[in-house]
């Protein structure tokens, strides 16, 4: 019998179970949703704004952390005043020393210096003249906390010129902002970030006054291409579970006057003091585009202006009589015949039942040639005159109030807008009442698309009652009318 061969087997050390959550020292973890979107955004200019308590300040301090390992990184975070910096400095002292071992805060300079040499300067920018403090400086990241506290875009635009870095630095150039609706700069911030595109989508940076893309100049190798992109990321209290859970902060916001409550709790950018159409609710009246059935009636309406602006809206009528504004055209310095070509090109292939145009365009203005309306009709762009009789403005305003209300039967508004109609979506809630006549809107405001819409909804559009369509004639006899165009 052979002896049994014995082998030595190394012992295996089995580690005790590890509690992963306790083992990890999570200093900051972005909340899912808007806060994560903000920290991962790649656009050059991003606004994280909306309701109070959405976690905006923490996100603003967390965003530049990614660059502290790069010795070439130089960053700047500003508020309107030094007093307003206190909270940011306090929170940064809780966050940065734990996230970046060895980082130091220079109290006198209000600057964080990382072991790599990267820096973050917390400073102020009150008056427009204060931009001279940063003249000659270069930053790869600039943040503005509470952007609507700046009454004009001057500081924001000037500081864009301070965004630069060396080639091969490995650094991108970013300008970031957080804010709540309201404040002295509400209007320009809304025009710059909120109005141009659907929330949380990238868009080419535009000139807020003209709406045109900001592009590389003539003669540049990138001539005509967009300079950079922007993005608006909305936030609500409920995006921050740490504040929303117990409901105490929500209760405080609910106790505010309606105007402030809509801005700070709902993050509503469409609330304006003295607004004419308080029924407006972006969540109700703005919808995603969809393919409109060919069987639905479609028509257009136009308010023409050469020196100011021309506004054209296209409207569809659903079977339940809801009106859908599905397209807009907003332009200036366009003559009537060119406008006709633009309209016909936009609606090519569609069956437009009729068009309604400002009736003053049928007037002959000191010449014997065709009126502006007749010039457009001769191009094949047919119109009927709008109602501009006494009382028609107030009647049109009252009809728009009715259309914006929710129908008791369908439980939907009687008028909605595709979210691609960004100009009229921004203009309707911003139109103020006339200070001398509360029954009408202020005619000095930007009301061109409003007037076009008013002309359209006052034509009594119906889904089951269509206007006479000359294309349906079988007699071969074609009607020609200089007023109606057919």
138-163 residues labelled b (16+ CB within 10 A) or e (exposed): ebbbbbbbbbbbbeebebbebbbebb
Model confidence pLDDT, tens digit, residues 379-419: 999 999 998 888 899 999 999 999 999 988 889 999 999 99
> Per-residue pLDDT for 350 more than 70?
yes
Per-residue pLDDT for 63 more than 80?
yes
Q: Could you tell me the domains of the chain?
A: 34-264 (3.40.50.300), 282-472 (3.30.420.280)
| Whole-number Cα distances in Å, 81 to 74, 120, 261, 471 | 21, 17, 25, 67
Tell me the pLDDT of the chain averaged across its residues.
84
pLDDT bracket for residue 49 (50, 70, 90): confident
Residue in the block written with tokens 């300040």: 57
Element housing 424 (H / E): helix 422-427
Query: Residue 474 — pLDDT band, cuts 50, 70, 90?
Result: very low
In angstroms, the CA 63 to CA 90 distance is 16
Lowest mean pLDDT segment, chosen from 258-262, 386-390, 429-433: 258-262
| 210: nearest Cα among 191, 236, 182, 224 | 191
43 pLDDT more than 90: yes
For residues 247-273, give the mean pLDDT: 66
Dihedral pair phi/psi, residue 282, rounded to 5°:
-55, -35
Q: How confident is the model at residue 107 (pLDDT cuts 50, 70, 90)?
A: very high
What is the DSSP secondary structure assignment for residue 472, as one 8-state letter?
G
Contact between 259 and 253 (Cβ < 8 Å): no
Read off the pLDDT band of 208 (50, 70, 90): confident
DSSP 247-274: -HHHHHHHTS-HHHHHHHTS--TT--TT
Asked if the model's pLDDT at residue 11 lies above 70, the reply is no
Q: How confident is the model at residue 6, as a pLDDT?
A: 59
| Residue 192: strand, helix, or coil | helix
- Regarding predicted confidence, which is higher, 49 or 8? 49
**Which pLDDT score is estimated for 10?**
60
Lowest mean pLDDT among 23-27, 214-218, 308-312, 460-464: 23-27
pLDDT at residue number 18: 44
Residue 44 has pLDDT above 90, yes or no: yes
Residue 51, pLDDT score: 61
Q: What is the pLDDT confidence band of residue 17, given thresholds at 50, 70 and 90?
A: low
Please, are residues 39 and 137 in contact by the beta-carbon 8 Å criterion? Answer: no
Confidence of residue 161 (pLDDT cuts 50, 70, 90): very high
Q: How high is the pLDDT of residue 395?
A: 94
Model pLDDT, residue 352: 95
Dihedral (CA of 175, 181, 183, 188) sign: positive
Query: What's the pLDDT score for residue 52?
Result: 61
Mean pLDDT within 124-148? 92
First to last CA, the chain: 118
- Asked whether the predicted pLDDT for residue 326 surpasses 60, the reply is yes
| Percentage of the chain modeled with pLDDT above 90 | 53
* pLDDT (mean) for 72-86: 92
> What are 162-195's pLDDT values in tens digits?
999 988 898 999 999 999 887 778 888 998 999 8
| pTM summary value | 0.69
Instruction: Collect contacts of 52-55 with beta carbons under 8 A, ≥24 apart.
Output: 52/180, 52/237, 52/253, 52/264, 52/265, 53/237, 53/240, 53/243, 53/244, 53/249, 53/253, 54/235, 54/236, 54/237, 54/239, 54/240, 54/267, 55/31, 55/235, 55/239, 55/240, 55/242, 55/243
Given this model, what pLDDT does residue 473 score?
A: 40
Kindly tell me if the per-residue pLDDT of 286 is higher than 60: yes
Tokens of 223: 């001539």
> Does the structure show a pLDDT above 80 at 234?
yes
- Residue 468 has a pLDDT of 43
Strands (E), 180-228: 203-204
């Amino acid at each position: 019998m052979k002896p049994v061969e014995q082998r030595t087997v190394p012992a295996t050390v089995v580690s005790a179970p590890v509690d992963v959550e306790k083992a990890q020292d999570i200093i900051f973890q972005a909340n899912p949703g808007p806060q994560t979107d903000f920290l991962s955004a790649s656009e050059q200019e991003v606004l994280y704004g909306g309701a109070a308590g959405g976690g905006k300040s923490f996100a603003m301090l967390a965003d530049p952390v990614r660059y502290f390992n790069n010795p070439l990184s130089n960053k700047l975070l500003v508020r309107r005043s030094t007093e307003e910096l206190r909270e940011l400095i306090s929170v940064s002292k809780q966050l940065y020393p734990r996230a970046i071992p060895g980082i130091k805060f220079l109290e006198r300079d209000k600057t964080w210096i990382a072991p790599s040499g990267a820096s973050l300067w917390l400073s102020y920018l009150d008056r427009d003249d204060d931009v001279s403090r940063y003249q000659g400086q270069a930053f790869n990241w600039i943040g503005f906390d509470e952007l609507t506290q700046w009454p004009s875009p001057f500081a924001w635009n000037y500081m864009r010129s301070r965004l630069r870095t060396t080639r091969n630095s490995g650094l991108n150039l970013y300008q970031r902002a957080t804010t709540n609706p309201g404040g002295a700069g509400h209007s320009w911030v809304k025009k710059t970030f909120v109005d141009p595109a659907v929330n949380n989508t990238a868009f080419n940076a535009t000139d807020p006054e003209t709406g045109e893309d900001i592009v590389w100049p003539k003669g540049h190798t990138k001539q005509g291409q967009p300079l950079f992109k922007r993005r608006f990321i909305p936030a609500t209290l409920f995006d921050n579970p740490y504040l929303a859970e117990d409901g105490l902060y929500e209760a405080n916001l609910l106790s505010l006057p309606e105007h402030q409550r809509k801005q700070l709790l709902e993050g509503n950018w469409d609330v304006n003091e003295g607004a004419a159409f308080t029924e407006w609710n972006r969540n109700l009246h703005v919808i995603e585009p969809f393919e409109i059935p060919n069987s639905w009636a479609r028509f257009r309406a136009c308010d023409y202006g050469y020196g100011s602006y021309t506004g054209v809206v296209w409207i569809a009528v659903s079977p339940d009589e809801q009106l859908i504004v599905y397209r807009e055209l907003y332009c200036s310095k366009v003559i009537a015949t060119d406008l006709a070509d633009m309209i016909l090109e936009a609606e090519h292939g569609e069956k437009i039942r009729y068009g309604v145009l400002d009736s003053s365009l049928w007037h002959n203005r000191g010449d014997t040639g065709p009126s502006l309306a007749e010039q457009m009709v001769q191009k094949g762009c047919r119109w009927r005159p709008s109602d501009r009789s006494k009382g028609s403005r107030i009647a049109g305003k009252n009809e728009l109030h009715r259309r914006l209300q929710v129908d008791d039967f369908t439980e939907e508004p009687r008028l909605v807008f595709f979210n691609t109609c960004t100009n009229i979506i921004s203009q309707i809630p911003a139109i103020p009442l006339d200070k001398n006549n509360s029954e009408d809107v202020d005619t000095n405001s930007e009301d061109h698309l409003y007037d076009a819409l008013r002309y359209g909804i006052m034509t009594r559009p119906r889904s089951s009652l269509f206007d006479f369509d000359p294309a349906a004639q079988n007699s071969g006899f074609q009607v020609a009318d200089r007023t109606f165009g057919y």
